[in-house]
Chains A and B, each alone.
Chain A
Amino acid sequence: MAADEMDGADSSELLRAPLVIEYPFNRTTGPVVGAFVTALRNRTVLGIRDTSGRVVCPPVEYDPRTGAPLEELVEVGDAGEITSWSWVPEVREGQPLQTPHALALIRLDGADTSLLHVVDAPGPDSVATGARVRIRWADEPTGAITDIECFELDGGAS
């Protein structure tokens, strides 16, 4: 059928039906990510030392550049510094905080890489690259990244 003929067809006459796909899966964590989330349940944060001596946090099982196995888990601090951030002015359902907040990359003390998390701050003027932040732990940790409820500005608004 030529394209101009198709354009003239009444598409409302064509049958349509929904296809909804729902299917359950599960995941295993392994010895490194498993140790990381288990430590979160105990309100500590682990990184891992890579082959160049850097501490990677969150930890990975293998060197990101060479693929070599990594095993030396290192406890890092519960405070650190913002290395980059973005402000979320209008909150929608399902977001990690129900008040305006920052999404930020945070390098914890003792780590050489940053992790992505949420900063509870009064407004974008109070957030800055280089600002110090500290973990606010969830009341009932379960062994998940959300055991870190969010970060707070360390010492109040900067």
Chain B
Amino acid sequence: MAGNRVAVVGVGQTKYAAVRGDVSLPGLLREAVFRALDDAHLTMADIDAIVVGKAPDFFEGMMMPETYLAEALGAVGKPLFRVHTAGSVGGSTAIVAASHVQSGVHDRVLTIAWQQQSVSEAMWALSFPIPFQQQLVAGAGGYFAPFIREYIRRSNAPDEIGILVALKDRLNALKNPYAHLHEPDITFDSIRESFMLWEPIRYSETCPGSDGAIALVLASEDAAEASAASSGVPPAWIHGTAMRSEPATASGRDQVNPDAGKECAADVYAQAGITDPRRQVDVVEMYVPFSWYEPMWLENLGFAPEGEGWRLTEDGTTQMTGDLPVNCSGGVLSTNPIGASGMIRFGEAALQVRGQAGDHQIDGARVAVGHAYGGAAQFYAMWVVGSEKP
């Protein structure tokens, strides 16, 4: 990977919920920020620069919130940078923050991503009927359902695969105290019997709408070692970062297995020296807002041959007890503050290789992948983190 070494030394998350009515927007972010700083054994004064990201401004009806939030984030007199890449923004934001350290310009960078879905109906906030343009008034699930159907047709995957993904992720969420949905009574049958929202996506195979924020502290090699010496918690070293995007409406585009996702994965693996991701990666946090995206992304990210991803779900490989655990945190299916969801994947990957994931820790995890996607499955962001220096 190009540039100076950089590591995650602090991870802070809010409790995620449908409505965090107990806090203001700045208060929500600060809950995550102070937890991340505490984890890193640092204070606001130690931070050199701040990088923030969120989903489109219209989701919360607040334009340029980064300027309003500068004082709350301790950014007075410091560089403050905003990143926009739709649903992948949490991942992209962490990557931009990492580049602030890799460049050698900053030693300690705080990065934050958030969303208050309770503030509006994010499902429809970008679905205005704009004159003379293609109408996309279908909601996210309505947009993605036809591509899931096409995946099922190509792969001949059995109908129960989506249910198995949802059941796994919701049960994993019970081990994550920050997760939004805690549904101890969920079963295969209760998911199967939940109503069909956008065939083949059932209600219980769909992400919730959440309020929440996550903050990470990224540090240069010396700063990371100093934090680790103080906190006693090892850093998560960043072994590779990659972003790719492609136009939503390009003709000939394969929305089931998009080129941008494949190229993003190939790039990040090359940086991290990964030639066989199925064998070399210990744990994955991937962006799965609808159940079927687990097998689809397993193929897109090179963990399974095309058409075979669903078999890893079916045979238990992606369970916490399998040899390629996916979304031990409960994933987007259990917690979805959209603007934060990508960074939660990146942060959870870091927690795994630092041994800090608590009840959803995979013992001995050394290499973890964080993945985010956004827009019309057109924006991709990934990083690989490891317990060893790159």
Contacts and interface: CB of A to CB of B under 8 A. Distances in A.
Given A28-B25, A62-B26, A21 B120 contact: no
Contact of B60 (A15, A16, A25, A68): A25
Chain A binding surface, main DSSP class: loop
Given A18-B131, A67-B74, 19 more contacts: A16-B131, A23-B61, A23-B125, A24-B120, A25-B60, A25-B120, A28-B20, A28-B23, A28-B24, A28-B116, A30-B22, A31-B27, A34-B24, A61-B24, A61-B26, A67-B44, A67-B72, A67-B76, A68-B44
Interface string B69-97: 00111111000000000000000000000
B360 interface: no
A64 B132 contact: no
B21 interface: yes
Which secondary structure dominates where chain B touches chain A?
loop
Nearest to A16: B131
Interface in B50-70: 58, 60-61
A25 to B, nearest CB: 4
Q: Name the residue among B21, B71, B125 with the largest chain A CB count within 10 angstroms.
A: B71
Contact of B119 (A25, A30, A67, A68): A25
Give the size category of B's interface with A. Answer: 20 to 34
A26 to B, nearest CB: 6
B128 A21 contact: yes
A21 B125 CA distance: 10
Q: Determine which residue in A16, A18, A30 has the highest number of CB atoms from chain B within 10 A of its CB, and name it.
A: A30
Nearest to B34: A69
B60 A29 contact: no
5 contacts: A28-B23, A28-B116, A60-B71, A61-B24, A66-B74
A19 interface: yes
A61 B72 contact: yes
Q: How large is the interface on A (under 10, 10 to 19, 20 to 34, 35 or more residues)?
A: 20 to 34
B73 A19 contact: no
A62 B130 CA distance: 41
A29 B24 contact: yes
Contacts of A27: 25, 119
Contacts of B24: 28-30, 32-34, 61
Contacts of A6: none
A23 B61 CA distance: 8
A24 B120 CA distance: 6
B77 to A, nearest CB: 9
A23 B76 contact: no
A65 B21 CA distance: 26
A17 B120 contact: no
A66 B132 contact: no
Interface string A16-52: 1111010111111111111000000000000000000
B345 interface: no
A23 B126 CA distance: 10
Interface string B129-143: 011100000000000
A17 B74 contact: no
A64 to B, nearest CB: 5
B165 to A, nearest CB: 32
Given A17-B131, A21-B128, A30 B71 contact: no
Interface string B199-241: 0000000000000000000000000000000000000000000
Contacts of A15: 132
B30 interface: yes
A67 B71 contact: yes
A127 B22 CA distance: 41
Q: Considering residues B23, B24, B118, which has the most beta carbons from chain A within 10 angstroms of its beta carbon? A: B24
B132 A17 contact: yes
Closest 7 CB pairs of A and B: A30-B24, A67-B74, A17-B131, A25-B61, A30-B27, A25-B120, A67-B44
